[in-house]
Amino acid sequence: MLSFIIRRLGQSLLVLLVTGLIAFSMFRFIGDPIDNMLGQERTIEDVERLRTQLGLDQPFPVQYYRFLENAVQGNFGVSYRQGRPVSEILLERAPATLELAAVSGLFALGLGIALGVFTAIRRNGIASNFIMSASLIGVSLPTFLIGILLIYLFGVQLRWLPTFGRGDVVDFGWWSTGFLTESGLKSLILPAITLGLYQMTLIMRLVRSEMLEVLRQDYIRFARARGLKDRVVNFRHALKNTLIPVITVMGLQIGGIIAFAIVTETVFNWPGVGLLFINAIQFVDIPVMAAYLMLISVMFVGINLIVDILYVFVDPRLRVDSAGGH
């Protein structure tokens, strides 16, 4: 068991290092940050001086090594665009993204499971068919289009909900929350739907197909033969067994929700880390891009690691296999 975890950790570390290396080799192609940092009146000496000062005259493996050296000590450098420490900016932006991800995750999970169960039980009903067809929209329409459609309908035409931003926030230390004000809550609705719609339809379809599978199993038939109520059969026996794969998928999707909040945050001008990343790309703000990419890969690798380890705990068969020799 321990050797398994250590092996996994080693693999994760390797993945992180390679991701970082690829990221750093790409930064050169995004453009030259110096050009954005100095005004048009700059002289060629200014450019050279700044380039040396920032270490941009070094080959990228050296730049990467320096980044790692500092990152290990918790120093992610200074944003070229804002002139502030990157760790401070990321901390300031994280609550917005995490709150949005949490709300859209709950939305996806709650509505996804409910609709999935409904469409599985009433598999041939008109409502089910309608939901199934409509869910295709959620899967096939790009996020930014859904966002703009929602903004147009609820923001511009009906004027029920704000079209951009986070509304008023309340600060608790470094954490700022939009949950406690009315405008903050209202501002969450459209972005959360936009971000969670894809995951919601995914979960719904997954729950439905798993549920249909489970409903065909012998123990369900026996349960029905015993004369148990439909409600008990469906929810106590069938749904429970459906949820195992759903939890696995959802675990992996959490990373996706946070990482792919970039598009949603841009459309709604949501002040989270995704919008920060987009701004950083346009300005060639290398420290911010590097820190963001490393953070996201740490998160993905971490979630995968936890899921792998949990599997071993949850599924005894894996445990026997990996222990080997018994």
Partner 1 sequence: MSIATKAVLASLVATLAFPATAETLRWASAGDALTLDPHSQNEGQTHTIRHQMYEALIIRDVTGAFEAALATDWGPSPDDPNVWVFNLREGVKFHNGNDFTAEDVVFSFERAKTPTSDMKELLNSIDEVRAVDDYTVEMVTDGPNPILSANLTDLFIMDKDWTEENNTVKVQDFEGGEITYATTNVNGTGAYRLVSREPDVKTVMARNEDYWGRDQFPLAFEEIIHTPIQNAATRVAALLSGEINYLQDVPVQDLERVNSADGLVVKTAPQNRVIFFGMNQGADDLEADNVDGKNPLADVRVRKAMSMAINRDAIKQVVMRGQSQPAGMIAPPFVNGWTAEMDAESSTDVEAAKALMAEAGYGDGFSIRLDCPNDRYINDEGICQAAVGMLGQIGITVNLDAIPKAQHFPKITDGKTDFYMLGWGVPTYDSEYIFNFLVHGRESDIGTWNGTGYDNDELDAKILSLASNTDLDARNADIADIWRVVQDDVLYIPIHHQVLNWAMAENVGIEVDPENQPMIKHATLN
- Smaller CB distance to partner 1: residue 83 or 324? 83
In the complex, least distance from residue 90 CB atom to partner 1, rounded to whole angstroms: 13
- Smaller CB distance to partner 1: residue 169 or 206? 169
In the complex, least distance from residue 121 CB atom to partner 1, rounded to whole angstroms: 29
In the complex, least distance from residue 267 CB atom to partner 1, rounded to whole angstroms: 6
In the complex, least distance from residue 75 CB atom to partner 1, rounded to whole angstroms: 10
- Smaller CB distance to partner 1: residue 95 or 105? 95
In sequence order, what are the beta bridge partners of 170?
A: 177
End-to-end CA distance of the chain: 13
Token pair, residue 184, equals: 């903050």
- Smaller CB distance to partner 1: residue 129 or 269? 269
The answer for residues whose C-beta is within 8 angstroms of residue 110's C-beta and 6 or more apart is: none
In the complex, least distance from residue 268 CB atom to partner 1, rounded to whole angstroms: 7
The answer for residues whose C-beta is within 8 angstroms of residue 192's C-beta and 6 or more apart is: 100, 103, 104, 107
How far apart are alpha carbons 99 and 78 in whole angstroms? 25
- Smaller CB distance to partner 1: residue 173 or 325? 173
- Smaller CB distance to partner 1: residue 45 or 218? 45
Decide if 197 contacts 146 (C-beta within 8 A): yes
In the complex, least distance from residue 137 CB atom to partner 1, rounded to whole angstroms: 20
How far apart are alpha carbons 186 and 191 in whole angstroms? 10
| Site residues (vs partner 1, CB under 8 A) | 29-45, 47, 50, 53-54, 77-85, 89, 92, 148, 151-152, 155-156, 158-166, 182-183, 186, 266-269, 271, 275-276, 278-279, 282-284
Decide if 276 contacts 89 (C-beta within 8 A): yes
Of 100, 121, 107, 141, give the one whose Cα is nearest residue 250: 107
